[in-house]
Amino acid sequence: MTDQQWDFKVRVLHWIIAVTVAFQQLTSLAMSDPGTQYLFPYHQWVGILAGLATLLFWLHSYAEYDLPILFPWNRAGRRLVLEESLGLLHGRLPPSGKRVGLSSFVHGLGLLALSGCALTGVVMFSMIPPGHQGPPDDAIAFTRYTLQHKFLGTLLWVYFAGHLGFSLLHQARGNNVLGAIFSLRRQPPP
């Protein structure tokens, strides 16, 4: 698969994840202010949607045998990731697309951070469902999940910035990665 060929289902899931995660990240910045607590129910429900989209992405990746691409743990995969990482230090941008290498590995790490954030969010959602008044039954466990959720959210900010930055760099170098992943036509643009 070249840089320009993405499966339609992957592109739809990418849209859903990009929009829901961007919403989650932006609302999380404002929710610490007492005057913006009205955002919390929206954050919860959009988070459930993001979690479902993440689960669907995992299932699709498993069904398409993409997990070895996202997580290249064998010797050849690790070597390629290391070589491409070192190449970045010399100004060589690794290729994008569905292939074993640095870009896919970083996508896998982002998927892990997103999955952890979604999982801790769903656990907290179950501890304080919408309309619940008062503290959760186990406030200590809730606090622990909240701290884990915030830590994973910080990792998502790092991933989000890096992912967007490298996408724009690829685009600036003439590789139409944005058109290839964000097109909702059945066939991606050439």
What pLDDT score was predicted for residue 138?
Answer: 87
Neighbours of 82 (CB within 10 A): 11
Tell me whether residue 188 is in a domain: no
Tell me whether residue 189 is in a domain: no
Q: How far apart are the first and last CA of the chain?
A: 13
| Tens-digit pLDDT profile for residues 68-122 | 999 998 999 999 999 999 998 998 998 888 889 998 999 999 999 999 999 999 9
Tell me whether residue 96 is in a domain: yes
Tell me whether residue 31 is in a domain: yes
**Domains in the chain: how many in total?**
1
Asked if the model's pLDDT at residue 1 lies above 50, the reply is no
**C-alpha angle with apex 108: 57 to 77, nearest 5 degrees?**
125
Separation between Cα atoms, residue 8 and residue 11, nearest integer Å: 5
Residue type, 122: V
Separation between Cα atoms, residue 70 and residue 133, nearest integer Å: 41
| Tens-digit pLDDT profile for residues 13-62 | 999 999 999 999 999 888 877 777 788 889 999 999 999 999 999 999 99
Tell me the mean pLDDT in the region 157-178: 89
Contact between 55 and 119 (Cβ < 8 Å): no
Tell me whether residue 142 is in a domain: yes
What pLDDT score was predicted for residue 114?
Answer: 96
Determine the longest span between alpha carbons in the chain, in angstroms.
56
What pLDDT score was predicted for residue 2?
Answer: 38
Find where tokens 């930055």 sit: 165
Tell me whether residue 190 is in a domain: no
What pLDDT score was predicted for residue 50?
Answer: 95
Domain with residue 144: its CATH number is 1.20.950.20
Tell me whether residue 139 is in a domain: yes
Asked if the model's pLDDT at residue 3 lies above 70, the reply is no
What pLDDT score was predicted for residue 4?
Answer: 53
Separation between Cα atoms, residue 146 and residue 25, nearest integer Å: 15
User: Is 188 or 107 the better-scoring residue by pLDDT?
Assistant: 107
Asked if the model's pLDDT at residue 190 lies above 70, the reply is no
Asked if the model's pLDDT at residue 64 lies above 80, the reply is yes
Which residues form the domain of 67?
A: 8-182
Tell me the mean pLDDT in the region 128-156: 87
Separation between Cα atoms, residue 91 and residue 146, nearest integer Å: 39
Tell me whether residue 2 is in a domain: no
